[in-house]
Amino acid sequence: MRQALKDLDASYRARAIPAGSARYWSWLFADRESRAPLLGVYALQAEWTALMDPANEASAARSKLFWWQEEMRRLSAGAPIHPIGVYLKSLPRAAEVDFAPLEQSVAAAADEVNGAPLERAADLTPHAHSLRAIPLVVASRLAGGDFDEPALSQCVQALAVADPLGGDDGFLPVR
């Protein structure tokens, strides 16, 4: 597992788990089997979050997010080309994990870039599920173990909804 951590480029690692952030602390205190999957998923989320920044040109962000959707399809097919996708695919349990739900996560990022309004709590939960909970479920499955699926879903859903409300770790607050 330690070798896989070295394979992710330092620049992606720095964006994935910025020192002092909630993501950093969650990664640091995670068990050994969870660290590499968390790092990879946090790296994906950092890339997508950077594209959702309102300071970015929306058409360029949309194009890049379309590319990321294609990359998630390649990852699902076992042939990623981006260093983060290659890193995730190299993890020991990657062959057992369905990466296809990550396409929904990228679609949620694209919705946000396209100005999808999140004005009511009823809008926040499904958006947070797609953008933040799905990647956490993928990380959990990459870490392995037997899961109580309803409990896992409930846990990551709560974390996903709270994440944009906190805004202390590099994720942009929901607009």
Extents of the domains making up the chain: 2-166
pLDDT confidence of residue 115:
83
Buried b (16+ CB within 10 A) or exposed e, 113-134: beeeebeeeeebeebbbbbbbb
What pTM was estimated for this model as a whole? 0.84
Residue 87 has pLDDT above 50, yes or no: yes
Residue 172 has pLDDT above 50, yes or no: no
What is the separation of C-alpha 145 from the centre of its chain, rounded to a whole number of angstroms?
A: 20
pLDDT confidence of residue 3:
45
pLDDT confidence of residue 158:
64
Which range of 109-113, 115-119, 171-175 scores highest in mean pLDDT? It is 109-113
